[in-house]
Amino acid sequence: MKRRLLFIGTGAMLATLLLAAPALAQEGMTADAVQATLDNIWVLIAAVLVIFMQAGFALVEAGLTRAKSVANIMMKNLMDFAAGVLAFAFTGFAIAFGSGNGFMGTEGWFLNTNHFSDGYFGTLSLPTFFIFQVAFAATAATIVSGAMAERTKFKSYFVYSFVITALIYPIVVHWVWGGGWLSTLSTPMTDFAGSTVVHSVGGWAALMGAIILGPRIGKYDKDGKPRAIPGHSIPFAIIGVFILFIGWFGFNPGSELAADSAVSAIALTTLIAGAAGAVSATITVWLKTGFPDVAMAGNGVLAGLVGITAGTAAVSPWGAFIIGALAGILVVFSVFFIDGVGVDDPVGAISVHGVCGAFGTLMVGFLATDGGLFYGDGFALLGSQILGVVSVFVFVTITTGALFYALKATIGLRVPAEEEIEGLDVVEHGAPGYGIDTTALA
């Protein structure tokens, strides 16, 4: 109780200092006004944590790919965020959250304050809500970069970044979070923080990108057997995983969209699932290959986190453990499977985000303490979860498939073979990512 009072006190002080709105700073500030301020501050902090995840993605992807294309992958991570912010502000946000029909929003373009008037997002202001949501849009966009690493033309990736955040991702958001058809089912689909809405969208887009691009040169031998192409920095990859883990405490608890008592419970399920994913993936890969593979353990953390994201507010800590542990096992088999069918995903993005995102969303139908099959509440929720997962898969694979084919037919999707072998950095961006002085010598 004391701690809670302290928390509220500190929050109120921060509120006064940060916002310094004269009306709020006056004596006699109502409890509602304090709560609204706390809500806004917490969600803004959570938004910053989610934006920090971009750094995690950048490091994971750089670490798990080769040094000769490191500048390219950093550039893709930087630009899909920047392009995503602009595209989501211009059109994406209106499609996702504006009034419209069950399929998409049709009002509120360019963050129109007449449409998104005060109270539209409850206690949250338009800036707070937008910054939080745009961080999610950029997350969905950046997932694809790793799966298409080391062989994609930067120009094409740049165009893709705008299209997914301007149009494709926002439509799915509208379905689930913006009052669209999946949220108005008699039992609405539950995807609290976006296992499907964010991660599966990114994962399925990554799947289409990797298929249409084809594998990196040297990934498969003459008989089609997959060969490992080790990444150039495990330290990068694991620091990236830690940054993502930290960012997830904004991603999930922030999705409560309020500073209330549910936040810490959500943080707990997030933490447990991430840890369970790490342990179960490590044991799985250890038994399967004889080594506790470091990169796969990193994938396990992310698999657990992606898995719990849909049900983070709906399951018990035990439910979180089960989801995280199963996601960690699933990701190992999925990575081997996708490798085996000839789809080259250098960082495992399809498995982590697409497969484990879908899996976590389905598990809510079993493990939600209110509505889950295992809690005796029947099949209604599970049915909605299945419908959501399948319809998002179909929509995203068709739209991103069309997008990547269109890019392939126009500006081209893949760099020439010689450029791929030399590395993308010098040819696409003018200079290598490492060691200009050692190559220049004189």
Partner 1 sequence: MKLVTAVIKPHKVDEVKDALRAIGVKGITITEVKGFGRQGGHTETYRGAEYTVEFTPKVKLEVIVEEADTAAVTDVIQTTASTGQIGDGKIWVTPVEGLTRIRTGEQGKDAI
Candidate segments 279-287, 314-322, 346-354, 428-436, binder of partner 1 by CB under 8 A: 428-436
Alpha helices in 93-233 (DSSP H): 93-97, 126-147, 154-163, 169-177, 201-213
426 binds partner 1 (CB under 8 A): yes
Complex with partner 1: residue 341 or 431, whichever CB lies closer: 431
290 binds partner 1 (CB under 8 A): no
Q: Is 264 in the site for partner 1 (CB under 8 A)?
A: no
Kindly state the tokens that stand for 54. 């971009």
Residue with tokens 């598990």: 363
When asked if residue 412 is in the footprint of partner 1 (CB under 8 A), the reply is no
Estimate to the nearest angstrom the gap between the alpha carbon of 381 and the chain centroid: 23
Does residue 130 contact residue 207 with C-beta atoms inside 8 Å? Answer: no
Stretch that binds partner 1, among 81-89, 103-111, 230-238, 418-426 (CB under 8 A): 418-426
Comparing CB distances to partner 1, the nearer of 377 and 422 is 422
Shortest Å distance, C-beta 75 to partner 1: 13
Closest CA to 321 of 378, 373, 280: 280
Site for partner 1 in 296-355 (CB under 8 A): none
Q: Please identify, among the stretches 100-108, 205-213, 355-363, 422-430, the one whose residues bind partner 1 according to the rule CB under 8 A.
A: 422-430
Q: Establish if 229 lies at the interface with partner 1 (CB under 8 A).
A: no
Instruction: Kindly state the tokens that stand for 225.
Output: 């057997």
Only one of the segments 153-161, 223-231, 296-304, 429-437 lies at the binding site for partner 1 (rule: CB under 8 A); that segment is 429-437
Nearer to partner 1 among residue 1 and residue 442 (C-beta):
442
Per-residue binder mask for partner 1 (CB under 8 A), 183-222, x = binder: -----------------------------------x----
CB of 71 to partner 1, least distance (A): 10
Q: Smallest distance, Å, CB 214 to partner 1? A: 18
- If one asks whether residue 287 binds partner 1 (CB under 8 A), the answer comes out as no
Q: Is 441 in the site for partner 1 (CB under 8 A)?
A: yes
Please report, to the nearest 10 degrees, the dihedral formed by the alpha carbons of residues 156, 159, 165, 166 taken in order: -150
CA–CA distances in Å: residue 91 to residues 106, 166, 209:
9, 5, 23
Q: How many residues does the chain have?
A: 442
Q: Report the nearest approach of partner 1 to the CB of residue 127 (Å).
A: 33
Residues 26-45 interacting with partner 1 (rule: CB under 8 A) = none
- The end-to-end CA distance of the chain, in Å, is 67
Number of residues that bind partner 1 (CB under 8 A): 13
> Strand, coil or helix: what is 102?
coil
**Residue 228 touching partner 1 (CB under 8 A):** no
**Closer residue to partner 1, CB minimum distance, 388 or 432:** 432
Report the candidate in 376, 377, 237, 210 with the shortest Cα–Cα distance to residue 296: 237
Query: What minimum distance in Å lies between the beta carbon of 132 and partner 1?
Result: 33
Q: Phi and psi for 100 in degrees, rounded to 5?
A: 175, -135
Distances (CA, A) of 326 to 174, 279, 316, 320, 413: 29, 10, 15, 10, 35
Tell me how far the alpha carbon of residue 76 is from its chain's centroid.
15
Does residue number 421 form part of the binding site for partner 1 (CB under 8 A)?
yes
Min dist CB 151 to partner 1, Å, is 14
Torsion of CA 62, 65, 68, 72, to 10 degrees: -50
Q: Which residues bind partner 1 (CB under 8 A)?
A: 218, 418, 421-422, 426, 430-432, 436, 439-442
